[in-house]
């Protein structure tokens, strides 16, 4: 997401940095380019106008122009204003003082509402909550069945009735079931249409009146651009939204809807969908996304993903192996598998400062297919070769290549990558690598 915008902004700031001291003319030219980049990213025109106006007012300050590092000061200002445009601070769902907390999802067909209901329930379940899903989308064929299947796969109960039921009454009945199950969150998946119409709005207004939700969340497809913003305006006018869930953020390289929607509607984004898997729903952090757009990475999200994925005891064992230089190819393969659980490797690269600015083609080359090839090569080795790769000579390399269906060049490349990784890890374990990474193994 935001790949095109990120590349353009980084090019603009690199050009500024090459000039050393900045004049008002330099900043004017840069801001014109920033404006064009935002408009091309499908950001709302009025939002762009206000954003550039604020940037200009702050960047033209004499303290910035006369600074020893004016470009860094400008980037800092852009980062702060981007964060503000995205909502400033993270907005969270607040549990009700009288459980269950009622959440109502609304939106148009095709936005991923039913899938998002299941993802949100799983997100709550993983944080120790007891959610109940309500299948209240009785108009779309198979919506009730889809939610029931998803709930079954994730181990989350689903309340359903016959499709002839009234959605508002169904949601009211579900609250009784929630009390029986001791569920402390209930999430209602309501019906949508291909476009906003009066019949749909009346239905969701009736559900809201009967269900009395603490949270009314609009699910919108990020790839629909400013149409998503317009939909948010209309739903908010009729229902009083408390937040947004923006889906398909992994599929939109522009991201104008995410950058515009808070400024236009005043409604905060609370979650973003970053993939199709059930666990690919993230809490939205404006400051972290601004940092990623500017190529500064997002180490906090990366660390959170790692903490959820990696076993603490196993991480300590690996730390010891790194310190004593006994990290081998079996450990290397295990680490790659654990990283895959955190998401696509190209997404993880975006979160690492310094690597997030890699060219698109370079990031695309770091794909899951290459990980499978690495696994095939390592699994074609003997146990002795995995533990002591130094013994792998030309004859062994040819045998490994035949066994894994790869070439000797692929085997050589893997062994070189492994040696470089082991060297880097040894440095980090001794605290000589990048500051924060080094501290992780102390």
Asked if the model's pLDDT at residue 305 lies above 80, the reply is no
pLDDT at 199: 87
8 A C-beta contact, residue 207 and residue 136 = yes
Residue 263: in which H helix or E strand, if any? helix 256-265
Give CATH superfamily name and number for 101-292. Answer: P-loop containing nucleotide triphosphate hydrolases (3.40.50.300)
Specify the domain boundaries for CATH 1.20.120.140 within the chain. Answer: 3-85
Q: For the chain, where do the domains classified as CATH 3.40.50.300 start and end?
A: 101-292
Sheet holding 243-247, edge to edge: 158-159, 131-136, 185-190, 101-106, 215-221, 243-247, 269-273, 281-283
Beta strands 269-273; 243-247: pairing state: parallel
The average pLDDT across 284-309 equals 68
Whether the per-residue pLDDT at 386 is higher than 60: the answer is yes
Is the peptide bond preceding residue 46 cis, with omega within 30 degrees of 0? no
Percent of the chain with pLDDT over 70: 79
Q: What is the pLDDT of residue 354?
A: 47
Question: Domain 3-85 belongs to what topology?
Answer: 1.20.120
Residue range(s) of every CATH 1.10.260.30 domain in the chain = 299-440
pLDDT at 168 over 90: yes
The pTM for the full model equals 0.70
Distance CA 55, CA 35 (A): 11
151: pLDDT strictly greater than 80: yes
Q: Specify the CATH superfamily of domain 299-440.
A: Signal recognition particle, SRP54 subunit, M-domain (1.10.260.30)
User: What is the tens place of the pLDDT at every residue in 267-277?
Assistant: 999 999 988 88
* pLDDT score at 439: 35
Asked which of 4-13, 18-27, 62-71 is least confident by mean pLDDT, the reply is 62-71
Q: What pLDDT does 417 receive?
A: 80
| pLDDT of residue 291 exceeding 50 | yes
* pLDDT at residue 391, as a whole number: 93
Please, which pLDDT band fits residue 14 given cuts at 50, 70 and 90?
confident
Q: What is the pLDDT of residues 358-381, one digit of tens each?
A: 444 444 445 556 778 888 999 999
């Amino acid at each position: 997401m935001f790949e095109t915008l990120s590349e353009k902004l980084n090019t603009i700031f690199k050009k500024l940095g090459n000039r050393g001291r900045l004049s008002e003319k330099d900043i004017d030219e840069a801001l014109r380019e920033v404006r064009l980049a935002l408009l091309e990213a499908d950001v709302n025109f009025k939002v762009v106008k206000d954003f550039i106006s604020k940037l200009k007012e702050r960047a033209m300050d004499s303290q910035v122009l006369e600074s020893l590092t004016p470009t860094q000061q400008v980037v800092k200002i852009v980062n702060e204003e981007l964060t503000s445009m995205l909502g400033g601070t993270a907005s969270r769902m607040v549990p009700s003082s009288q459980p269950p907390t009622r959440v109502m999802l609304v939106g148009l067909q095709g936005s991923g509402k039913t899938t998002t209901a299941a993802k949100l329930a799983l997100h709550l379940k993983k944080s120790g909550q007891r959610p109940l899903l309500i299948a209240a989308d009785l108009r779309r064929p198979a919506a009730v069945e889809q939610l029931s299947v998803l709930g079954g796969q994730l181990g989350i109960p689903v309340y359903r009735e016959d499709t002839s039921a009234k959605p508002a009454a169904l949601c009211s009945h579900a609250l009784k079931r929630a009390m029986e199950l001791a569920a402390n969150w209930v999430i209602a998946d309501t019906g949508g249409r291909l476009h906003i119409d009066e019949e749909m709005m009346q239905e969701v207004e009736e559900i809201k009146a009967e269900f009395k939700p603490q949270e009314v969340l609009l699910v919108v497809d990020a790839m629909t651009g400013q149409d998503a913003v317009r939909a948010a305006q209309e739903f908010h006018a009729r229902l009083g939204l408390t937040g947004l869930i923006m889906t398909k953020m992994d599929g939109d390289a522009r991201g104008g809807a995410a950058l515009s929607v808070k400024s236009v509607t005043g409604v905060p984004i609370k979650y973003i969908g970053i993939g199709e898997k059930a666990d690919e729903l993230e809490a939205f952090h404006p400051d972290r996304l601004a940092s990623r757009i500017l190529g500064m990475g997002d180490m906090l999200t990366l660390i959170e993903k790692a903490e959820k994925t990696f076993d603490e005891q196993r991480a300590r064992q690996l730390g010891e192996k790194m310190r004593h230089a006994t990290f081998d190819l079996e450990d290397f393969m295990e680490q790659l598998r654990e990283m895959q659980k955190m998401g696509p490797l190209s997404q993880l690269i975006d979160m690492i400062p310094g690597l997030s600015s890699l060219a698109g083609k370079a990031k695309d080359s770091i794909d899951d297919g290459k990980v499978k090839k690495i696994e095939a090569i390592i699994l074609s080795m003997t146990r002795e070769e995995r533990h002591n790769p130094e013994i792998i000579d030309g004859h062994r390399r040819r045998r490994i290549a035949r066994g894994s269906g790869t070439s000797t060049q692929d085997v050589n490349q893997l062994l070189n990558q492994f040696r470089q990784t082991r060297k880097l890890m040894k440095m980090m374990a001794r605290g000589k690598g990048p500051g924060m990474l080094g501290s992780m193994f102390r």
